[in-house]
Amino acid sequence: MTHTPRTISILGATGSIGSSTLDLVRRNPQDWRVRALTANGNVEALAKLAREFSAEIAVVADETCLPALRDALAGSGIEAAGGASALVEAAARGADMTIAAIVGCAGLAPTMAAIEQGGLIGLANKEALVSAGPIMTAAVAKHGATLLPVDSEHNAIFQCLQGNKASHVRAITLTASGGPFREWSQAQLEAATPAQAVKHPNWSMGAKISVDSATMFNKGLELIEAHYLFPVGLEKLRIVVHPQSVVHSMVEYRDGSTLAQLGPSDMRVPIASVLAWPERMETPCGPLDLAAIGELTFRAPDEERFPATRLAREAAQAGGAIPAVLNAANEVAVDAFLRGHIGFTRIAADVAHVLESYAPPPPGSLDDVLAVDAEARRRAQGLMPCT
């Protein structure tokens, strides 16, 4: 069987999701032609990938890194570009498949530019959807794009919804590992360090999402992400702590049947299901050995120690700009925590504080969302100790 390779662009190619995606592309070179690869400022890693995959263009978001990128790509014939607008322009070239794997709201504008070209969008960048939910989903519909969730829980839900009617859904349950501090007391949480927070028991991920996992803001953001991806009603979305991370999420139907998707804790599984959709492809991920795993356990989340899921549910309920405010405040607080400027429990406290002080009207455009994001960041930054 002959087939034409499809074009793929990876926004955030040097990150954890970007690397896992490129690992699958590397194993199936005949299937893909790499168009754009982007990074924030890691020139060396980006240039190496661009050369390995013969990308058309490599882009650094940090414009000051462009001269170094040009040098690193000299003689390769690969275009080099830098800066926020270059990132958007590269995404706007479109591709059969764009993997949105930038971390944070920084990925929103390029993801929207890719959506406006139609095509398939593999969405890992949950902060973009959380910030711009209704605007992004409207753009997807308007431009005939297809949003395929990469996030393991949403990928699981997407798979469990196939062949069923959304109107028959009784509940959607997102599973949460509970993060590295699942069993920690409030006193221990107060003293948690960045090094402890980024050490996730089950998954290997970028620093920001690892901290989000420890605070449970990751699950909070995912609740809002699910609300926009699967609009069955917020009251039908649930969260259950499942420390083994084997069941990636579940959909319960009105007849009492619950469908779940299970698999190893390896992001290449959901990424592969996106890359091959609606088909299936081989991956190097091992089979699921339930006898070796032995036990799967489940329990309700503790919103006293981890208020993030409650804050996120309230933000989703409020809708409009409020999820963008929550997301921006969290990004600033996580950054401050990682730099050692604030303690672990201050993250949720500061997010709550910004949410109390700032309730802008619903955004009508991408620019409105970016303005809300900027103002919420400014307010969150104002809470940080002077350094």
- Binding residue positions for 1-deoxy-D-xylulose 5-phosphate: 126, 152-153, 177, 200, 213, 218-219, 222
| One-character DSSP codes across 334-380 | HHHHHTTSS-TTHHHHHHHHHHHH--PPPP-SHHHHHHHHHHHHHHH
Please name which of 146, 179, 174, 141 lies closest in space to residue 160, comparing C-alpha atoms: 174
Q: Which helix (H) or strand (E) holds 248?
A: strand 247-253
Smallest gap from Cβ 233 to Mg ion, in A, equals 21
Neighbouring-strand partners of residue 78? none
Smallest gap from Cβ 281 to ligand NAD, in A, equals 19
* Residues forming the site for ligand NAD (CB under 6 A): 12-18, 39-40, 42, 61, 101-103, 106, 124-127, 151, 203, 205-206, 208-209, 267
Contact map string, positions 100 to 139, toward Mg ion, x by CB under 5 A = ----------------------------------------
61 binds, among ligand NAD, Mg ion, none (CB under 5 to 8 A by kind): ligand NAD
Which is nearer to ligand NAD, 126 or 379 (by Cβ)?
126
Q: Measured between alpha carbons, how far is 147 from 223 in angstroms, rounded to an integer? A: 17
Which is nearer to ligand NAD, 51 or 168 (by Cβ)?
51
Residue 220 CB neighbours (<10 A): 31
102 binds, among Mg ion, ligand NAD, none (CB under 5 to 8 A by kind): ligand NAD
Smallest gap from Cβ 364 to ligand NAD, in A, equals 24
Which is nearer to ligand NAD, 73 or 267 (by Cβ)?
267
Which is nearer to Mg ion, 56 or 153 (by Cβ)?
153
Smallest gap from Cβ 278 to ligand NAD, in A, equals 21
Which is nearer to Mg ion, 152 or 309 (by Cβ)?
152
Phi, psi at 370, each rounded to 5°:
-65, -35
Residue 361 CB neighbours (<10 A): 9
Smallest gap from Cβ 46 to ligand NAD, in A, equals 8
Which is nearer to Mg ion, 214 or 321 (by Cβ)?
214
Which is nearer to ligand NAD, 252 or 335 (by Cβ)?
335
Cis peptide before 360 (omega within 30 of 0): no
Smallest gap from Cβ 319 to ligand NAD, in A, equals 21
Residue in the block written with tokens 């809300």: 372
Q: Measured between alpha carbons, how far is 249 from 173 in angstroms, rounded to an integer? A: 6
Q: Is 225 in the site for Mg ion (CB under 5 A)?
A: no
For residues 82-121, one letter each, b for 16 or more C-beta atoms within 10 angstroms of the residue's C-beta and e for the rest, the string is bbeebbbbbbbbbbbbbbbbbbbbbbbbbbbbbbbbebbb
Q: Measured between alpha carbons, how far is 112 from 135 in angstroms, rounded to an integer? A: 9
Instruction: Identify the three-state secondary structure at position 261.
Output: strand
Q: Which helix (H) or strand (E) holds 131?
A: helix 126-143
Neighbouring-strand partners of residue 37? 10, 58
106 binds, among Mg ion, ligand NAD, none (CB under 5 to 8 A by kind): ligand NAD
The two three-digit tokens of residue 124, written as one number: 């890992």
Residue least distant from Mg ion (Cβ): 151
Smallest gap from Cβ 103 to ligand NAD, in A, equals 4
Annotated binding-site ranges: 14-17, 42, 125-127, 151-153, 177, 200, 206, 213, 218-219, 222
Please name which of 157, 106, 121 lies closest in space to residue 374, comparing C-alpha atoms: 106
Please name which of 261, 308, 34 lies closest in space to residue 160, comparing C-alpha atoms: 261
12 binds, among Mg ion, ligand NAD, none (CB under 5 to 8 A by kind): ligand NAD
- Contact region for Mg ion (CB under 5 A) — 79-87, 89-97, 147-155, 356-364? 147-155
β-bridge pairing 247-253 and 169-176: antiparallel
Give the one residue of 56, 127, 151, 331 binding Mg ion; rule: CB under 5 A: 151
Smallest gap from Cβ 121 to Mg ion, in A, equals 17
Contact map string, positions 317 to 336, toward Mg ion, x by CB under 5 A = --------------------
82 binds, among Mg ion, ligand NAD, none (CB under 5 to 8 A by kind): none
Binding site for Mg ion (CB under 5 A): 151-153
